[in-house]
Amino acid sequence: MRCVAMMKLSMMEKVVDTLDENWKSPIAEMILNRWEHTPGTVKYYRASANFLFIFKKGEDIYFLRINEASERTFYTVQSEIAILQDLNQYSLNVVQPIKSLDGNLVEEVQTEVGTFYAVVFKKLKGRHKELEDLAEEEFMRWGESLGNLHKAMKSVSEKHLHNRTNWKDQLAFIKETVVEHDPVTERELHLVSDWLESLHATKENYGLIHYDFELDNLCWTEDTINILDFDDCSGNWYVADIAYALRDLFKEEIELEHPSFKAFIKGYQIKTDIDYELLQQIEWFMRLHNLVTFAKLKRAVDGAPSHNKAEWLAGLSSKLMNVMDRYRTGFERTEKLT
């Protein structure tokens, strides 16, 4: 089951409504005036957990990412940028922010549709790959890249871990968002919470994770894998990052003996150690991920207007509710198996 985390649909509608037939937005134009760019080149790229616009400066391609203040705090964005800068010293090919004309890496901009926190990144070299196109050797490279990232995460300043959310915050968010009048989800949350509370955290098995190290956030070249999208970077067990990266590999259940999974783990271990006891319980991290995604979708849909929806918004809202139903069915199934 695959679904991108969403902002509130009501917020998405406000910005999408500013787009013209050429996918240009006066909101994006106004925000981008804080950075050097070629005028007239900025266009809408996508919206999910944030808004992304693409633009040019000369012949180079860049991305403008904006988050509305109710979706991300200024402090949260700043802490993400600090992590990227710290990781840059480890030769990881991690996306880096570009300073604005005022020398800031994050800009706060007031607009007619809300307050936004904006960051600019240069487009990474390489191309995205599809899961079904990966050979065993590429799964190994993918795992090695994540292992290398985790190796660096173990060395960065501990302040970064304290400045980000963690699994306890995720459990609180789920409880606050979805548990009321939903006994199936409440039961699944109780089971997952009890399991997480039983785990031991050490410097070797727990720390900052990327959270979304899947193929959409990796740009492959012949020699390197370039990494982007750290906005959900959080505190968790490193095995969780393996589970989340490979969540599209298995339709129903995780097979630890799957050749692609084994190749990924083999590559990972080239760079850093793995907690084998936790790896055997990797399914539980997927159960946590499913709960978090379910809660994010509910928050997004609850924020959608109930009347006079645009056709695209009504369609998206319906699609997300169908995905939520499938997640809830999954909670019922795992409850019977537990």
User: What's the CATH code of the domain at 245?
Assistant: 3.90.1200.10
For residue 103, the number of C-alpha atoms closer than 13 Å in the C-beta half-sphere is 0
- Cα–Cα distances (Å) from 104 to 21, 99, 204, in that order, read 32, 5, 34
Query: What is the DSSP-derived secondary structure letter of residue 128?
Result: -
Residue 37 lies in a domain: yes
Same domain, 73 and 31: yes
DSSP 277-337: HHHTTHHHHHHHHHHHHHHHHHHHHHTS-SSS--HHHHHHHHHHHHHHHHHHHHHHHHHHH
Mean pLDDT of 250-275: 93
Please say whether the beta carbons of 58 and 42 come within 8 A. Answer: no
Which CATH number is 93's domain given?
3.30.200.20
By residue range, what is the domain housing residue 39?
A: 9-122
Given this model, what pLDDT does residue 5 score?
63
Percentage of residues in the chain having pLDDT higher than 70: 96
Same domain, 213 and 285: yes
Same domain, 163 and 106: no
Same domain, 326 and 204: yes
Domain count, the chain: 2
Same domain, 83 and 155: no
Same domain, 146 and 275: yes
Across the strands, what pairs with 94?
227
- Cα–Cα distances (Å) from 312 to 54, 81, 227, in that order, read 22, 33, 31
The structure tokens listed for 331 are: 């909670």
Given this model, what pLDDT does residue 106 score?
98
Same domain, 88 and 49: yes
Inter-axis angle of helices 9-16 and 311-337, nearest 10: 150
Please say whether the beta carbons of 331 and 188 come within 8 A. Answer: yes
Q: Which amino acid appears at position 330 of this protein?
A: G
Across the strands, what pairs with 228?
none
Q: pLDDT for 210-248, tens place per residue?
A: 999 999 999 999 999 999 999 999 999 999 999 999 999
Given this model, what pLDDT does residue 308 score?
67
> Tokens 């968010």 sit at which residue?
173
Name the strand (E) or helix (H) holding 218: strand 218-220
Same domain, 314 and 171: yes
Mean pLDDT of 273-302: 95
Q: pLDDT for 297-318, tens place per residue?
A: 999 998 665 566 788 998 999 9
Name the strand (E) or helix (H) holding 193: helix 183-197
Given this model, what pLDDT does residue 92 score?
86
The structure tokens listed for 209 are: 């994770």
For residues 338 and 56, the model is more confident at: 56
pLDDT band at 34 (very low <50, low <70, confident <90, very high): very high
pLDDT band at 1 (very low <50, low <70, confident <90, very high): very low
Given this model, what pLDDT does residue 293 score?
96
Same domain, 45 and 171: no
Phi, then psi, of 123 in degrees rounded to 5 = -60, 130
Last residue of a domain, one of 88, 122, 156: 122
When the pLDDT of each residue in the chain is averaged and rounded to a whole number, the result is: 93
Q: pLDDT for 166-216, tens place per residue?
A: 999 999 999 999 877 789 999 999 999 999 999 999 999 999 999 999 999
Q: pLDDT for 97-142, tens place per residue?
A: 999 999 999 999 999 999 999 999 999 999 999 999 999 999 999 9
Q: Is the pTM of this model over 0.75?
A: yes
CA angle 130, 241, 107 (to 5 degrees): 85
Same domain, 73 and 181: no
